[in-house]
Structure 1
């Protein structure tokens, strides 16, 4: 099994969206009326997993439209809070082509959650064999603020129900290949139905922690993201990531937006 860590653009956000802070500002994570010194660029990551039972893409990064008309792509409300950037050659379509992988041959596209920087590029891979997100996340995306439904309109998305698994803050998730090698672990809080990916590499585990925390220091110091749907659940998920990172059989924990994580191939 091999795991490709890909950067599929980057996003310009207020630092308090990544690392919750106390402030007189009622919603500092929006970035509204906060200066440039409080903003930062962080990568937007996707992951390609070459498994013996199938090819799996986790999240899709930015769509190429963001290069030419970001306001239209994100909508004026989201555009007022964050900006996206996608260098030439970095879209998921361009990177898959470079790897010689046709989107129709991808067995699963897993959406860890359905925030824009994770699903924006979905149309680039819409002909994959199956696109999956958790049933809980799908329901939340239909009714809650913070989602841009135009990014998946007309695209067939399947859902999975949470089942009992040996891992996670609630021991809920989905064993994708039913063989204990790749778990979708329910780690809610940042969004209602978010999952992290737990991948068995040799005799160790690689944990792709999505947005449970924005960088290693998030779980080392238990710093929540600035935006959560359930603060208690977010803390439990982050605490579980911290605990898991300290296991002897934990190879590595990777956050989606960690600026210290570089593109590489892990095997």
Structure 2
């Protein structure tokens, strides 16, 4: 099995979005009225898993449209909070093409949650055999602000209901192949239905942590993301991630926006 770490450009955010901070500012994570010293570029990651039972793409990164009219693609509100950068050749569809993989070859496109930097490129991989997210995340995206519904409009997205699994802060999630080799682990807090992907790798468990924490320092120092829908649940999810990272059978934990993580292949 191989796991490809793909960087699909970068996103320019306020540091308070990555690491929750106490401030007189009511919503520092928005970046509004905050200087450049508070801002940073972080990678937008996606992952391609070459599993014996199928090809899995985890998240979709930026759409090529981000190179043109960002304000139109993101909408005025989102564009006022963050901005994207996508060099030529770094979109998911471009990287799949470079690897000789057709979108129709993908057995699953997994959407860990439906924030823009995770689903922007969905239209480019909509012809995969199955696009999947959690029912809880789908409901949240349908009813809460902070989502850009045009990014999945007209695309069929399958949803899974939570079931009992042996891992996670609440031991809920989804066994993707039904054989215990890939779990979608319910780790709410940043959003209501966000999940991380737990892969049984030959070297031990590999955790693709999505935005439970923005970088390794998040769980090492127990620093929550700045944006949460349930702070208590976010803490439980981050604590589980920290504890799991210390297990002897945990090979590696990778956060989506960690600047220390470089593109490459885990074999």
Name the TM tier (shorter chain).
over 0.9
* 2:187 alignment counterpart: 187
* 1:102 alignment counterpart: 102
Q: Please report how far the alpha carbon of residue 9 of structure 1 lies from its aligned counterpart in structure 2 after TM superposition.
A: 1.1
**1:234 aligns to 2:234 (yes or no):** yes
Deviation per CA, 1:213-252: give whole Å up to 9, x if none: 0000000010000000000000000000000000001101
Q: Please report how far the alpha carbon of residue 202 of structure 1 lies from its aligned counterpart in structure 2 after TM superposition.
A: 1.1
* 2:216 alignment counterpart: 216
Q: Please report how far the alpha carbon of residue 203 of structure 1 lies from its aligned counterpart in structure 2 after TM superposition.
A: 4.8
* 1:64 alignment counterpart: 64
- Aligned partners of 1:179, 1:3: CA distance in 2, in Å? 18
1:5 is paired with a residue whose SS is: strand
- Aligned partners of 2:10, 2:206: CA distance in 1, in Å? 23
- Aligned partners of 1:77, 1:201: CA distance in 2, in Å? 40
* 1:256 alignment counterpart: 256
* 2:206 alignment counterpart: 206
1:78 is paired with a residue whose SS is: helix
* 2:125 alignment counterpart: 125
- Aligned partners of 1:150, 1:167: CA distance in 2, in Å? 33
1:42 is paired with a residue whose SS is: strand
Deviation per CA, 1:58-110: give whole Å up to 9, x if none: 00000000001100000011000000110000000100000000001100000
Q: What TM-score does the superposition give when structure 2 sets the normalisation length?
A: 0.99
Q: Please report how far the alpha carbon of residue 17 of structure 1 lies from its aligned counterpart in structure 2 after TM superposition.
A: 0.2
Deviation per CA, 1:164-189: give whole Å up to 9, x if none: 00000000000001111100000000
| Equivalent runs, 1:139-218 vs 2, <5 Å | 139-218=139-218
- Aligned partners of 1:265, 1:164: CA distance in 2, in Å? 31
- Aligned partners of 2:177, 2:75: CA distance in 1, in Å? 37
Deviation per CA, 1:33-71: give whole Å up to 9, x if none: 000000000000000000111000000000000001100
* 2:75 alignment counterpart: 75
1:145 is paired with a residue whose SS is: coil
Stretches of 4+ aligned residues off by more than 3 angstroms = none
1:169 is paired with a residue whose SS is: coil
1:247 is paired with a residue whose SS is: coil
- Aligned partners of 1:61, 1:125: CA distance in 2, in Å? 11
Structure 1 residues 246 and 99, CA, compared in 2 at 3 Å: closer, same or farther? same
- Aligned partners of 1:13, 1:202: CA distance in 2, in Å? 35
* 1:38 alignment counterpart: 38
Structure 2 segments unaligned to the other structure (5+ residues):
none
Size of the aligned set, in residue pairs, is 267
Structure 1 segments unaligned to the other structure (5+ residues):
none
- Aligned partners of 1:157, 1:217: CA distance in 2, in Å? 33
1:88 is paired with a residue whose SS is: coil
**1:8 aligns to 2:8 (yes or no):** yes
- Aligned partners of 1:255, 1:203: CA distance in 2, in Å? 18
